[in-house]
Amino acid sequence: MSFTKKLLFLLLLFSFNFATAQSSDAKKNEAVKAYNDAISKIKAKDYKGAIVSYSKAIELNPKYKKAYFNRAKVEMKLKDYNAAIKDFQKATELDPKYTKAYINEGHCELKIKEYDKAIQSSTKAIELDSKSEQAYVNRGTAYMKLKKYDDALKDFTKAIELNGKNTIKALLSRGIIYQNQKKSDEAIADFTSVVNKNPKYGKVLLYRGKAYIDRKDYANAIADFTKQLELDPKDINAYYYLGFAQIKNKDYASAISTFSKGLEINPNATKLLKKRALAYFSNKDYTKSIEDYNKLIEKEGKVKYFLNRGIAKYLTKDYNGCIKDLEIVINKNTKLGKANYYIGLSYQKQGNNAKACKYAKESKNHGYKRADNLIKNVCK
């Protein structure tokens, strides 16, 4: 090739490369404009519009890692976690040391209950930054969901030591694990730290109240549930546990009032109705107890409700009603000793000692100790 041809070739190659570079730079500049437009749309809370702009930026510059990352953040806000995960993964593909992308990917994987994947993503973030508090919280949460409590405790403790913006979440989560492990003192200590920072956080007063119940400290439990109801007057769980603690404290009248208030908010809260029936019974208001058991039997028809209603009927001198309910219990082959005993008592009250004796002996055969005295009285 002659010198002239070589020179012409080099000039053409230079021109092509220059033009290509100019075109590439122009696209990158347009990508930046689209990126900035997305940010403006986010400020205006136009999240779908922001996704369109980030997508345009990525189309113009397929290696624009921040556009992938920020699009994923918007997808998180819109709860499109699968799409967000793909974008975070693309960001880390472009930059394997993109710690924040791994952290957020782990958060999204928690949301879709991919706990093993959340552990992997969070571990990668921790390997890149050992002080990544959010990554420890994410991984601890994943371990907690998988019931790997020892691993979860280590991660939450590390997050607490780092004392960042997620400390309160780590304290609450660690407290819940301690509570599950029946370590009431440790749980109360963590919950108290949360209360001191923010008593409204994550229904911490409800958790601490339950920990006090585990410790049989009903006075403090009642105080916490009462405060929780001041914060959220519609918290059915707070009504349930407050009433439960009041029953344990033998304050049946207060328990009845608590359950009744809860039932005004949610008449279908069966667990409140069950406890109120028990509170009425314990308060010797057997008629009201029977009314609640009537509702429970209508809703669920469980055998234990027939047993409790039958005994309440005996105590209101409705002996035929007692016998009828407790025969249902016997036919279901449950609580045979107790059911037979109260049927025997009912027949005794009706003056039918022969039948009373039969049921008293059957009660004794099933190990019900109170049957001995009834046998002495009716079996002659």
344 Cβ contact partners less than 8 Å away, ≥ 6 residues apart: 355, 356, 357, 358, 359, 360, 362, 363, 371, 374, 378
Name which of 299, 254, 249, 255 is nearest 278 in CA terms: 255
Q: Which residues contact 281 (CB under 8 A, 6 or more apart)?
A: 289, 308, 312
pLDDT for the residue numbered 14: 46
Residue-level pLDDT at 48: 94
Distances (CA, A) of 232 to 201, 221, 226, 260, 319: 12, 16, 10, 16, 44
Say what the pLDDT of residue 29 is.
80
Q: What integer pLDDT is reported at residue 301 of this predicted model? A: 87
Rg, the chain, Cα only: 34
CA distances (Å), 264 to each of 141, 187, 241, in order?
A: 36, 32, 16
Residue 361 confidence (pLDDT): 95
DSSP string of 266-288, one letter each residue: -TT-HHHHHHHHHHHHHTT-HHH
Helix H or strand E segment including 100: helix 99-111
pLDDT of 77 higher than 80: yes
Query: What is the pLDDT, as a whole number, of residue 47?
Result: 94
Q: What is the set of domains in the chain, with CATH numbers?
A: 25-96 (1.25.40.10)
Secondary structure in 3-state letters for 82-131 = HHHHHHHHHHHHHCCCCHHHHHHHHHHHHHCCCHHHHHHHHHHHHHHCCC
Question: Looking at the predicted structure, is the pLDDT value of residue 27 above 80?
Answer: no
- The per-residue pLDDT for 25 is 61
CA 42 – CA 59 distance, rounded (Å): 19
pLDDT band at residue 6 under the 50/70/90 scheme: low
Q: What is the mean pLDDT of the chain?
A: 93
Query: Is the pLDDT at 17 greater than 50, yes or no?
Result: no
Contact 272, 262 (CB under 8 A): yes
Number of Cβ within 10 Å of residue 355's Cβ equals 16
Burial of residue 240 (number of CB atoms within 10 Å: 0-12, 13-18, 19+): buried
Residue 286: band (very low, low, confident or very high) from pLDDT cuts 50, 70, 90: very high
Torsion sign (Cα): 268, 273, 275, 276 = positive
Amino acid at site 266: N
CA distance 86 to 104: 11
d(CA 24, CA 150): 52
For residues 296-312, average pLDDT:
95
220 pLDDT above the threshold of 60 = yes
Q: What is the pLDDT of residue 349?
A: 97
Interatomic CA distance for residues 43 and 50, integer angstroms: 9
Each residue's pLDDT tens digit, 326-378: 999 999 988 899 999 999 999 999 999 999 999 999 999 999 999 999 999 99
The one-letter amino acid code at 297 reads I
pLDDT of 34 reads 85
**Residue 96 pLDDT:** 96
- 161-206, pLDDT tens digit by residue? 999 999 999 999 999 999 999 999 999 999 999 999 999 999 999 9
What is the reported pTM?
A: 0.85
Q: Where do the DSSP E strands lie in the chain?
A: none
163: which DSSP letter? T
Mean pLDDT of 301-310: 94
